[in-house]
Amino acid sequence: MTALRRLFFVVVGLFLALPLIVVAGVSINARQTLAFPPQGFSLSWYGQIFTNAEWRNALIASLTLAASSALLALLIALPLAWFLWRRIAPWANIFQLLGVAPFTLPPVITALGLLTFWATTGFYGQAWTAVISHGIFFVTLPLVTLSLGFSAIDRSLVEAAATMGADDRVVFRTVVLPLILPYLVSGYAFAFVLSLNEYIVAYMTVGFTVETLPIKIFNALRYGYTPTMAAVTVLFLVIAAVVFGLVARFGDLPKLLGAMSDER
């Protein structure tokens, strides 16, 4: 059984890793050819991301978009999750539903909705519209982690703070905020990484004016291959792994993903 289980894990692992291994391989090719195993060794394609103006601009655009849209998602999710936790207002769950909807429906729908909206209001193509679009599209992630975080707060802690003289505002600052901080951070991290990688919403809203890295790669693919796109893929994979690794290191990843207790 143990051998069978190990074999199964190895096969699934290979399936998941193989395309990435090949991409990592071609990203260190010495010449600009698509070849595996790599011919020669060079990190110049990684350097390209930072030295070539086009790639660098795309990287900066992506990071800016991800950082600001994740922040916006958090700013929408935090008061909403707090309100739902603090008050009895069943009708307010409609906003929870609205927050989860963009992520549940096929992304092309949200993308098209936002495209028609920005086109109708005349803001189509402005860089900031992508921030709002991504902020709405990814609000689900901090909303889910924060709801989880709030439900994990023992309400007697809040009651204890009240008996010691803390009003709502003080309770929020001294008890609630410190306790949900891990969920706040992981919600931001999820939204950040997914925004970094998102293609269709960014493409449909600002595709013709701003080039994020995924858009840049897709455009580049049409004109032929360059190892820089392999290097970007590896870079993004590393960023995601580091971010989620940190979330796992400082938070309780299994619990965040739905396991009940923090010990197994």
77 binds other proteins (CB under 8 A): yes
| CB 82 to other proteins: min, Å | 6
Q: Which C-beta is closer to other proteins: that of 43 or that of 105?
A: 105
23 binds other proteins (CB under 8 A): yes
| Size of residue set near other proteins by CB under 8 A | 112
Task: Give dist(CA 260, CA 264) in Å, integer.
Answer: 10
Do 31 and 153 meet the contact criterion of CB atoms below 8 Å apart? no
Binding characters for other proteins, 46-75, by CB under 8 A (x = yes): -----------------------------x
Rule CB under 8 A: which of 199-218 touch other proteins? 199-200, 203-204, 207, 213-215, 217-218
User: Which residue in the block uniquely carries the two structure tokens 């394609």?
Assistant: 45
117 CB burial (10 A radius; 0-12, 13-18, 19+):
middle
Options 123, 128, 159, 209; binder of other proteins; rule CB under 8 A:
159
| CB 228 to other proteins: min, Å | 11
| Structure tokens belonging to residue 204 | 């449909």
Q: Which C-beta is closer to other proteins: that of 60 or that of 164?
A: 164
Rule CB under 8 A: which of 106-145 touch other proteins? 106-117, 119-120, 132-133, 135-136, 139
221 binds other proteins (CB under 8 A): yes
| CB 238 to other proteins: min, Å | 9
Give the dihedral of Cα atoms 165, 168, 173, 178; nearest 10 deg: 100
- The DSSP output letter for 166 is -
Beta-carbon contacts of 150 under 8 Å, excluding residues fewer than 6 positions away, are: 81, 82, 84, 85, 176, 180, 183
154 binds other proteins (CB under 8 A): yes
C-alpha pair distances (Å), 173 with each of 157, 158, 163, 179, 185: 13, 11, 16, 10, 16
Contact region with other proteins (CB under 8 A), list: 44-52, 53-61, 78-86: 78-86
Rule CB under 8 A: which of 79-108 touch other proteins? 79-80, 82-83, 86-89, 92, 95, 98-99, 101-102, 104-108
224 binds other proteins (CB under 8 A): no
Options 40, 41, 53, 264; binder of other proteins; rule CB under 8 A:
264
Options 9, 50, 123, 128; binder of other proteins; rule CB under 8 A:
9
The conformational region for residue 41 under phi > 0 = left, psi -120 to 50 = alpha, else beta, is beta
Closest CA to 147 of 193, 69, 95: 95
